[in-house]
Chain A
């Protein structure tokens, strides 16, 4: 465990030096999501040294933390004040930093109701590829001054800037939580969710695996009771363990020793199940679907695209592009955006789309 420390100047100087030399940097947090994206050839830059919560005022609903702050530390602090991050970010291997959470942009089972990482980002302080320290957004919820470059950082995998500090919106933790389990097929689950989605239910989790639909209800006691009576099913006892397993990918479905690639399909929640062979796990009320399958990358991508969505080769599967290929014009725009932040191409080059960038 490191101690809280401010390394902003040293980190900015390091980036400036690398920019002057044209030396590629590989930004490293805790390494919990090192598998995600394409490998980067570059000199490692340890971002975990810059850590600590800079500002936290529960009644202002925000927290500002240095990017190297362990996610677990931040979550413990929030929990001590009855608050939490709505996006429920994964902590693969129990690790993860605040900066890594934003850079990867991955959200957990609560995402459709609690917001994505990008929805919670209010502001960032970061270093662009010129070694300049920039500040986007701020600490207030409503802020439309300047382009929203702070949210753009979410999911950019360190290809635009080195994050120094992140301000996130936080929210109250609910008084009550209950998980219900209903036996049904995936198609039946999607059908029910499409109907329930139009009702004002306190849902904060809906996933289907192995013939069982898991529904999480959160809110005050009265609201949870009323919704549970309406939905039926049986209560799940070790609910915490189940949702942690979903969130951190420790359920057997996500086992690292499964030789089949793990695909993530982002599709409209009520879209029919694509007819692809393999094992499925439906999350986000159907909007995020995990597939364990050996089918070729092109087949998975075509199926996702046919539904208006996209597919990510999340783990395994060799050489295919990790992220859904972009049309040529969008690809060119991505390269120009990358160049606008990082003209020398030194920040995590190729992490998103491989050697061709960004």
Chain B
């Protein structure tokens, strides 16, 4: 919520790990006191927090297992103050971690213990809604949902809808290339941002993209989107608005096996239909959601699909009939079409409440985020179930089936000795599995600090080196969000060597980095 301070979730992570992500980074030559003095001079009193009690609210983002207290938190009111913070940080070689609403799930906004957190929360003005050009020009601290709310009177909306859209900010969405339920049809953040103004560590303002559909030179708007705060700090964005669909209808289909549900997903796409949303829940997820919100889900089903179609009324009605036929042909034991808006909301209610519902059946859960080719969904879910058994843990699956973006939720109890470690080990295995079948270690949550190790599996040394070189083209001193998003080569060497020793890599005689 705007105005209300961020809070680290006080979950059962009583033994949150000490942060070791700065290992292998060049130690910044910090002159903490001089830096703080300069910040005090440059910023109004209410724009700088340095007391431990105040800093505590910023010690983590939504990946609360990782915590660190920063040196200070800067809360600039305007762009000039943002630039001042960056200038001072650079002069004193102090790391800067940009932060939106702190809803990220991969630790991308985890403070650097010798650094400054730069909160963009106060740059929260919607500068312009332009209905003729169907754009919104906003400051980075504007909430995702606030854009759609402001656009609604014009019959428009901002399409990317991450589940945290009520709280997350557009600046954070750009940093993470946020997705959501509707991105199969309407695209990710990168497809919906036209122009970005950002400030580099050297204090230069960079304009990427343009007021039209493209900009001159390299496509820096694409590069900045998803760069996790390592390249520049976004201070303004112009996003594309789409017409509100005339009609949106949702179908719910039940299946006796997860494989059958997965096949039905592929069949819908093969039919030439791109649904607005296509979500799957497995039996434990169905039960947890049903117990919690009573959405009327079939609790005996092995899996359900929720398929939403949107567009012009005539188009949606025609597609609805075709999807129903496909689902029935692929062994759906039951197909329901929401008869009205109230029923549509009820169908979605269970899906939307799935995470908190899982929170009710387990003291803690760990949300994974890998993407796999759709054809692998059935097989990968079966292998995840096997891995979970090996690790003595339970996994619940609720995910974006249409684009193969899995969100396995590993249930655990942080207070049970060893469970967090086992959970993380299982999580790593799941992500490695995603890479193995041709997928990726993160579909929409970002790498942050969380997925640095699995990144070593997905990219070879030359590609990682290229990422570092690209980053240094923007930030030669590597002070923007250091230690995140791209693992160091040393870290990967260590990680991969460990795997070779454990005999898990085939062809151990080959040279690997």
Contacts and interface: CB of A to CB of B under 8 A. Distances in A.
Interface string B190-233: 11000000001000111100111111111110110111001100
B306 to A, nearest CB: 18
Contacts of A61: 269, 274
Contacts of A144: 176-177, 226, 440, 442-447
Interface in B283-327: 311-315, 317-319
A140 B462 contact: no
Interface in A157-180: 160, 171-173, 175
Given A197-B243, A334-B217, A145 B458 contact: yes
Interface stretch (B46-54, B87-95, B352-360, B368-376): B368-376
A269 B439 CA distance: 37
B472 interface: yes
Given A140-B439, A198-B154, A200-B245, A333 B211 contact: no
Interface stretch (B7-15, B21-29, B127-135): B127-135
Contact of B314 (A151, A223, A287, A326): A223
Contacts of A353: 217
Interface string A96-116: 000000000100000110011
Which size class do A's interface residues fall under? 35 or more
A357 B225 CA distance: 25
Interface stretch (B142-150, B399-407, B501-509): B399-407
A93 interface: no
Interface stretch (A39-47, A52-60, A181-189): A52-60
Given A115-B191, A138-B438, A144-B176, A152 B451 contact: no
Nearest to B195: A308
Interface in B316-372: 317-319, 371-372
Contacts of A296: none
Q: Give the one of A119, A144, A266, A287 with max B CB within 10 A.
A: A144
Contact of A152 (B132, B222, B445, B472): B222
Interface in A123-169: 128, 132-136, 138-149, 151-152, 154-156, 160
Contact of A142 (B270, B443, B470, B474): B443
Contact of A141 (B223, B311, B371): B371
Interface string B259-298: 0000000110110111000000000000000000000000
A83 to B, nearest CB: 8
Nearest to B460: A135
Contacts of B210: 266, 308-310
Nearest to A326: B217
Interface in A205-259: 219-223, 225-227
Given A310-B210, A330-B207, A143 B244 contact: no
B291 to A, nearest CB: 29
Nearest to A136: B463
A142 B462 contact: no
Given A151-B190, A308-B211, A222 B314 contact: yes
Nearest to B151: A198
Nearest to A339: B473
Contacts of B447: 144-146
Interface string B463-481: 1001101111110000000
B473 A336 contact: yes
Interface in A11-27: none
B311 A145 contact: no
Nearest to A121: B222
B219 A140 contact: no
Given A139-B438, A141-B403, A198-B131, A310 B444 contact: no
A5 interface: no
Contact of A118 (B205, B219, B460): B219
Contacts, number: 269
B211 A324 contact: no
Contacts of A60: 266, 269, 373-375
A307 interface: yes
Contacts of B444: 142, 144
B373 A140 contact: yes
Contacts of A119: 187, 190-191
B267 to A, nearest CB: 7
A155 B103 CA distance: 34
A88 to B, nearest CB: 14
Contacts of A116: 213-214
B459 interface: yes
A149 B465 CA distance: 13
Contacts of B462: 128, 132-134
B317 to A, nearest CB: 7
A284 B439 CA distance: 34
B243 to A, nearest CB: 4
B183 to A, nearest CB: 7
A152 B440 contact: no
B223 A148 contact: yes
A115 B187 contact: yes
B427 interface: no
Given A226-B314, A270-B133, A147 B471 contact: yes
18 contacts: A61-B274, A135-B463, A142-B443, A143-B443, A144-B446, A146-B459, A147-B230, A147-B471, A151-B190, A152-B220, A156-B218, A172-B273, A222-B314, A267-B212, A268-B135, A310-B212, A323-B217, A329-B206
Interface of A: 57-61, 82-83, 105, 111-112, 115-116, 118-119, 128, 132-136, 138-149, 151-152, 154-156, 160, 171-173, 175, 194, 197-202, 219-223, 225-227, 266-271, 284, 287-288, 307-310, 312, 323-327, 329-330, 333-334, 336-337, 339-341, 352-353
What 5 A-B pairs come out closest when comparing CB atoms? A308-B211, A222-B314, A223-B315, A172-B272, A151-B222
